[in-house]
């Protein structure tokens, strides 16, 4: 089973605007459309079975609407989608909304501090971690040399303060900061994913990063709509890994992370 552990989805009426915003922010051409139907079609073409889907509230007022949308999308495609909710550090009832998104059947939380404009080790975010600790995994966008919000050292401080928090550090825990992130966070026990990274790394470099985090802690994902499933699987298959390691990263690790009742 191949599981895409990092995919963003948007309502059809705003998907084009959202995708254009991403393309502008990262100065990259994005060819996929960001819709649920687009995600499913892209994955089907490459043999992807399931998708962990999310979106990000850039302001507190978007939190409930986005969580409702993700939950409805999962309800529409229960055999394909697993939902991660969103929260914002300035949302007025963080604990209550995390209770609500969990009751909606969402299985984790996504934070993107570059878009949400907060340092991940700021006390503003501690109530999020307190509510999620021992309960829901948090997928952190990590890295970007233009910003410091999600520097690897900041995530290290978070996991030291909240040791029962299940953490996924996206993009090998530091997009565009890959070696620094592996040096700081490799071996700490966090999960990571290889999304939006393989395009910039040689297969040998990717293998080194995987070894530092542990093949049992790496998830495969496309950062949809950034990259297609087919091209990301092709890049992944070039990494010098054993068949066992490939199977772990392509799906088994995500299954273990999500648990039996995903």
Q: List phi, psi (to 5°) of 85.
A: -85, 180
Tokens of 18: 């959202």
What is the pLDDT averaged over residues 201-226?
99
Quote the domain boundaries for residue 179. Answer: 3-258
CATH of the domain at 174: 3.20.20.140
User: How does DSSP classify residue 136?
Assistant: -
pLDDT of 5 over the 60 cut: yes
Q: How many domains does the chain have?
A: 1
Helix axes 63-76, 94-103, angle to 10 degrees: 10
pLDDT tens sequence across 80-138: 999 999 999 999 999 999 999 999 999 999 999 999 999 999 999 999 999 999 999 99
pLDDT tens sequence across 156-194: 999 999 999 999 999 999 999 999 999 999 999 999 999
Nearest to 187 by CA among 171, 209, 203, 202: 209
């Amino acid at each position: 089973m191949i599981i895409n552990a990092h995919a963003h989805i948007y309502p059809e009426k705003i998907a084009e605007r959202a995708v254009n915003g991403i393309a502008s922010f990262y100065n990259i051409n994005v060819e996929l459309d960001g819709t649920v139907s687009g995600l499913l079609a892209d994955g089907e073409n490459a043999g992807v079975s399931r998708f962990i889907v999310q979106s990000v509230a850039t302001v507190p007022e978007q939190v409930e609407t986005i969580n409702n949308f993700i939950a409805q999308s999962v309800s529409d495609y229960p055999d394909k989608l697993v939902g991660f909710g969103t929260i914002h550090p300035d949302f007025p009832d963080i604990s209550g909304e995390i209770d609500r998104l969990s009751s909606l059947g969402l299985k984790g939380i996504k934070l993107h501090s570059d878009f949400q404009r907060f340092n991940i080790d700021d006390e503003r975010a501690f109530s999020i971690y307190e509510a999620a600790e021992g309960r829901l995994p948090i997928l952190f966008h990590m890295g970007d040399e233009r910003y410091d919000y999600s520097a690897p050292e900041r995530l290290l401080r978070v996991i030291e303060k909240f040791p029962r928090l299940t953490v996924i550090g996206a993009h090998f825990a530091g997009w565009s900061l890959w070696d620094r992130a592996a040096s700081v966070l490799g071996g700490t026990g966090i999960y990571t994913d290889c999304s939006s990274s393989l395009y910039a790394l040689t297969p040998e470099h990717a293998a080194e990063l995987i070894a530092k985090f542990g093949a049992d802690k790496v998830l495969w994902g496309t950062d949809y709509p950034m990259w297609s499933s087919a091209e990301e699987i092709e890049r992944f298959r070039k990494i010098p890994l054993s068949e066992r390691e490939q199977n772990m990263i392509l799906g088994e690790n995500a299954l273990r992370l999500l648990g039996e009742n995903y």
